Structure 1
Amino acid sequence: MKKDSALSQSYQDADYPIIGHGPRSMQVLLDAFKQADGSQFSDMYGKGEIIEAFEAKMAKLLGKEAAVFFPSGTMAQQIALRIWCDRRGYRTAAYHPLCHLEIHEERGLHELHGIRSILLGGEDRLITLEDIQAVGEPIGCLLLELPQREIGGQLPAYEELEAISAWCREQGIPIHLDGARLFEIVPYYGRSEAEISSLFDSVYVSFYKGIGGIAGAILAGDADLAQQSKVWKRRHGGDLISLYPYIVSSEHYLDKRLPLMESYLDGARDLSSRFNRCSRMRTVPEQPVSNMFHLHLDLPVERASALLEQTAKDTGVGFLPYLKETSPDSCAGEIHIGDRYARIPAEKLDQAFKRLEELAGQA
């Protein structure tokens, strides 16, 4: 991502920044602990009521035998794939070319676990059943990310997921769900977290993305996977003496925001429709399937940044803090909707888009 300091500053200074729930300040922690019982004992090295009760709650929500709380999703997912590859006896993991493990983790899966990646499909589209069937070597584990963040948060049809799950189970290939944003896709699919997770052998969810907690993740699956993952968590140094600040904030914001996911989807669709009516702008997907989408601008990144910066200064509405160059004449940015969007007065939003269209027409 190209970090434009002027654009970023104008976004920070805006009265109505659009993205997410709010600033990641100490208030996130303070709000989470307002109702906490100060006499409750903390967890210690993965044991204790506070962590075990939350793990049981998440196992039930995801429809799995057991769940384990991790400080990070990076740790949880590498461990899940290691366990599945060990069980299967193959040191290969198949996933999308823009999977988090491939582009954001410094080759951790390979360097720490000796697992080689098999990249499926193209960078600009979703993985299909045909992509998986065409792999000409044994697969230790298949990872699917729902939604696929790096291509705008796209999702396959649910029937395609069912077909992939059925075929992999026939072949004995375990499937892991990168469900960092699982909660955000429930409204679109119209199925519960447990129903979606039933298509997968293990699932990871994040508590700081759409949920807005401090940090933390859950890895859920069968009881044996959970037990093995605890051993690997210790080996990775993830068994901190106490994880309760993450657990308390995770549960607080999960309970608060899980009922709001449909409203976030509605907000994303409203916002995307406004952008798609603007000159030189389009969204991917055109109609969002979760609370996130990518905004593409047919302008050089410097001109697009200046346009958004000026809109923020003139109207107080900040659309994006940064843009990524996609070609010399185009750029893009990621938008995800949370609590902030509903707080923006309708007249301010109308004013911002009117100004945005005026400036885009002059660009």
Structure 2
Amino acid sequence: MNRLQDAYKETPFQVNGHGPRKIQVLKEAFENLDGQLESEMYGKGKLIEDFQEKMASVLGKEAAVFFPSGTMAQQITMRIWCDEKGLKKVAYHPLCHLEVHEEDGLKELHQIESVLLADKTRVIEFEDVTGMKEEVACVLLELPQREIGGLLPDYQTLEAISAYCKEKGIMLHLDGARLFEILPYYEKNAAEICSFFDSVYISFYKGIGGIAGAVLAGDNDFIEKSKVWKRRHGGDLISLYPYYLSADYYFEKRIGKMKQYYEEAKELAGFYNQCYGVSTKPEVPVSNMFHVHFDAPKEVMELILTEICKDADVGLSSYVREVTETISYFEVSIGDLYEKLPHEKLTDAFKLLDARMRANSDKT
């Protein structure tokens, strides 16, 4: 039994995301669609092709293809660039999704080695790329770097890394799972950011809030090769319409709200940083996401957050993770729920958090 998770689900007000991932998410997306529309078959058909062309245009690329998962899309990307270069090495951050969340799929399925750039506490900088001791086929940048609180390099660093990779013949790939969420910080559009990269992946279930799925974009030749590998990976389901139609619906619904989410994330981080023994990473968010760290063990924070759910009717998080025996954290991602939260309720929740953190400190 998870007391915190249960208490969080029962709260009338929750801080994070767009709301529970219930079947209603799919029903809403399909509510006004013509039931007689023909779905695609094995990746071919007007509906999916129109959506892919739309996303290619948004990302400023020649072509795009819809994938059932970003894991599949990015492993395939690395395989294509390695095959083109005749070199089975790619470089990325030590906490890159391919390195820590995919059961070594890149290595086991494609025999591709990883070269780790920077250390686990910071983003990849220009000097990390230029200082590589090994030759690689591709460099992958994740924007934002989720596992360290959603940190970002500055825009000039992106420009410099891109120019260097072009000069050296190294392919540059963007893990843009949260691409749209970082645009307000950079004050650029998606195509401007993507112009630095040879290939781009975006997700539709994170900030966009769709059911599942991803898009991979690049030049025509790259995308045609990715379609072959998509078939080899079993990604050509007979129909993918529940995924890309919901992706399109929620993209249109939320793409214009990214700046709002970003400003709300900065406001919320301010509330956390005013509490005793609490800090956010980064202190001022650079997207709609950040991490909240507590000077208290995981078990203590689970109890405190459960009490806040019950006493303030506000769910700050449904989980806590351990950093050390005395420090814990959770991740925040702002979506549609935040604007529905009464300000006085939020204020009460943070007063309680501050009081409980101080009381816990007095005990220790």
TM-score range, shorter chain: over 0.9
Aligned ranges 1:130-149 → 2 under 5 Å = 130-149=127-146
Q: Where does residue 187 of structure 1 map in the other structure?
A: 184
Q: Where does residue 265 of structure 2 map in the other structure?
A: 268
**One-letter identity of the residue aligned with 2:108:** E
CA shift, 1:91, in A, is 0.2
Aligned counterpart in structure 2 of residue 39 of structure 1, from 32, 36, 61: 36
Would you say 1:177 and 2:178 are equivalent positions?
no
Q: Percent identity?
A: 56
Distance 2:125 2:346 in 1: 38
Distance 2:37 2:308 in 1: 49
Would you say 1:83 and 2:48 are equivalent positions?
no
Would you say 1:211 and 2:208 are equivalent positions?
yes
Q: Where does residue 23 of structure 1 map in the other structure?
A: 20
Q: Where does residue 111 of structure 1 map in the other structure?
A: 108
CA shift, 1:302, in A, is 1.1
Distance 1:35 1:83 in 2: 39
Distance 1:87 1:98 in 2: 26
CA shift, 1:305, in A, is 1.4
**One-letter identity of the residue aligned with 1:330:** I
Distance 1:99 1:85 in 2: 18
Distance 2:66 2:169 in 1: 27
Q: TM (normalized to structure 1)?
A: 0.98
SS of structure 2 residue aligned to 1:101: helix
Q: Give unpaired runs (5+ residues) of structure 1.
A: none
| 1:52-96 deviation per Cα after TM superposition (whole angstroms, max 9, x unaligned) | 000000000000000000000000000011111111111001000
CA shift, 1:245, in A, is 0.6
Detail structure 1 runs of 4+ shifted over 6 Å in the superposition: none
Aligned counterpart in structure 2 of residue 292 of structure 1, from 264, 289, 292: 289
Distance 2:191 2:342 in 1: 36
Distance 1:122 1:23 in 2: 35
Distance 1:131 1:101 in 2: 19
Distance 1:35 1:332 in 2: 41
Distance 2:298 2:234 in 1: 41
Distance 2:123 2:290 in 1: 15
**One-letter identity of the residue aligned with 2:243:** Y
Aligned ranges 1:1-363 → 2 under 5 Å = 5-363=2-360
How many pairs were matched up?
Answer: 360
SS of structure 2 residue aligned to 1:240: coil
Distance 1:137 1:277 in 2: 45
| 1:93-131 deviation per Cα after TM superposition (whole angstroms, max 9, x unaligned) | 100000000011010011111100101110111111111
Q: TM (normalized to structure 2)?
A: 0.98
Distance 1:300 1:238 in 2: 42
